[in-house]
Chain A
Amino acid sequence: MRNLLLYPIVIPFLAGLFTLIVPRAKRFKQLITIAVCGYLLYYGIRLFLLPDIVGSFFTVNLYVFRADFILKADHLSSLMILFTYLFGFLISIYIVRSRDWVRSGDNQYLTYFLWTLAGVSGVFLSANLFFVLVFWEMITAIFFLFVNLGRGKLTAESARKTYVILGLADAAFLFGVGFIWASTGTLNIDLINIDTTAGIVQKIAFFAFIAASIAKAGALPLHTWIPTISENAPISVMAFIPAALDKLLGIYLLSLAMLKLFTVQPLFSFIIMLIGAATIIIAVFMALIQHDLKKLLAYHAISQVGYMILGIATGTVVGVIGGLFHMLNNSIYKSGLFLCAGAIEKETGTTDLEKLGGLYKKMPLVLVANVILALAISGVPPLNGFTSKWMVYQGVLQVGQPVFLALAIFGSALTLASFLKVIYSVYFGGESPAVSSTRRPSYLMSIPISILAILCLIFGIFATLPVGKFFIPINFALFQNVKSIALLDNLSFANAFWNPSLATTAIIIGLIIGIIIYLVGRVFKYREQPIYTCGERFELEERRFPGTGLYLTIMELPFIGQYLRDRDSGAYDGYNLVRFIGWETIIKKLKDLHNGILSTYLSWCVIGFLIIIFLLMSQ
């Protein structure tokens, strides 16, 4: 029983080692990977159905520092594990036909894939903060190796930016863990509760945790690595790590910090909610003006994180459940959307919306899935995105922040607008020359996408099912900071009534009426007529209307337009600000001091020596 807990860490690790050691034989290794992921998915379901398991294995003992390697599968962590392996399994099927790992040219792709799974399971299962940190840093290191597989296009600058931000976040995490150890003497998650009002260092430690989690999840102001890396990394890696697993990891850590490790004062909750709301609105504006599919999706990946942060920061049960549910939903539809983009890129060779168009004939299955996923991310009822957003809104209302509510709803509307543009530009609007030779994508690619889309439908229409099975059983008594509110066993929270089945019926009726109107319109015939000018047949070179210019008018708005333009050129990117204003100057000054002249060096020695003597003699 106890050893069950080691499986999700050890099995993918060993399988990864195996794929690394065995040379060539690609197909065989793919089969192994799929089999391992399938088994792990089965295992994840089993673990989820079992009651809580705790097992202690060994102790890291560094003189006075002790950290017990305790694994604990409570409801929340086995839920996380279940979804980790769900994504793992789907993506392991998807990559069989994806070109990403063929392009990487060597056998490390599958190894890093499996090791990432092992590391993520380690984070979720560890009941000791130290091991959470260890696994967390391993994931960052593997991600570094992973992204480097994308060949050629990856500029040194964007890679550096990513690792600077993630590395800084990891350093902040390390600082926080060290502080907790020093002040409480333990790193066992269940035993820690630090009051942020106690002192300045406690506050710094709290924000260190927040920084680590929001950098991983990708919220403002530490989000800038996601759009940058999305242009270069293999798209299946994007779907797997930043879109799915990093959300799980970041939000998991955020909820630990906000709800468990720290007692948060109201001002800080407000700041975190502000971060959430600002993330929603700014990132979605940025998404509106993008014309590269990957980058657009990356900005939506950031925008959605805002809802999760907003929900968790409310600290009410409905808000927290909404935030966690939104995390799952977002991972489902966001990785689905990235996989759609991957299929499009593989078949057409581009993700530039300008060059795409009229794909609906070539990939009908992907189109249907993509529409469902897009509606889900936009929060259109009855899909899953709506349910979780709805719960977040209720949480925000319960803590009395109508401004944030308004921003969140507005953001949701803009998301819909942005995805209308995507669907139109990619699938409709006339066939572009780039897609004329496109073939239907392999079923190995479209089936994982469809499964994700179906999940979106199920989680939306039967929303009481996931909420009741996944989130209600979470033992909120453990989260000492959640304001308790009497829960009913369905979605009718205090004032948050939403009945998905009723709404679905209404929507289906609406759709049927729409279809009838469309069919009535088809009754009347129309004909096509060539255009003549001055007696000559007039041929347009390209008779299509790409949707990329759809929202560019917002760039001309006063203030907002200027802000977006500046932001798009990186002017508000904290990384650039620090880099160009302070950083380079300091380094330049230091380099100037190292001028290679012996007398300069000797004079430093003399000055240093005099200071030492002065200090010693002055005591």
Chain B
Amino acid sequence: MPGDSLIYKLDPRGKFLITFYFIGIVFLANNVASYGFLLLFVLFAVYLSKINLGFFLKGLRPMFWLILFTVLLQMFFTPSEHPIWNFGVLTLSKEGMVISAYIFVRFVLIIFVSTLLTLTTTPIEISDSIESILKPLKAIKFPVTQIALMLSIALRFVPLLIDETTKIMDAQRARGVDFGEGGLIKRIKSFVPILIPLFVSSFSIAYDLAIAMESRGYRDGEGRSKYRMLKWEMRDTVAAIVMIVITGILLMIRSY
């Protein structure tokens, strides 16, 4: 559901670029002050979005094992002159603990900003932004509009294909297939009778859609006008300036 907070209203192109830019500058931080500063900024952005912090924590969950693994690796494999504890190749030291804490904060920052982007931007807006950002590639005959249309149709058909999958699974279950039983190999094998009908029906949907599109006058990407319009406003410029200021402050407080 689209919200009405400031972050929702920002131009998706700006949001998209700012998110990637921010992920880039996260790697500039290298001390408590700079990490703390970025963390404060992200929490402020989360506050501005008026989205419950719980949604962001949920975004961390699928990454839990990766984060844990990386943090432990840093903690025990950072070489140090003054180890607190030593066992074979494993070393626990103050430096190691600090670095692993930084890594942890870095993960949180990156996951929070990307969650912020996906929660406040609809998939179609993202596909519009990609089209707009890639537009210069048209000069080298890269089919930007076609790819954007492809992307938006793909997004549009995801729920339909999920429905289709459920239908096929039910039909196979009615014939006695048990999807949740047996070893890994057996379970993977039981998905073959889902995939094949799914392929067949996606081809027939694609054929129907192609006919429908052609009957409505779709030739190729050229000569088309665009209904959806992105509007760059004052607040988007402000957001971009804020990012420059953030970079400046970051460069000042990081240690060299």
Instruction: Say whether A and B bind each other.
Output: no
- Write the residues of chain B forming the contact surface with A, with a CB cutoff of 8 angstroms: none
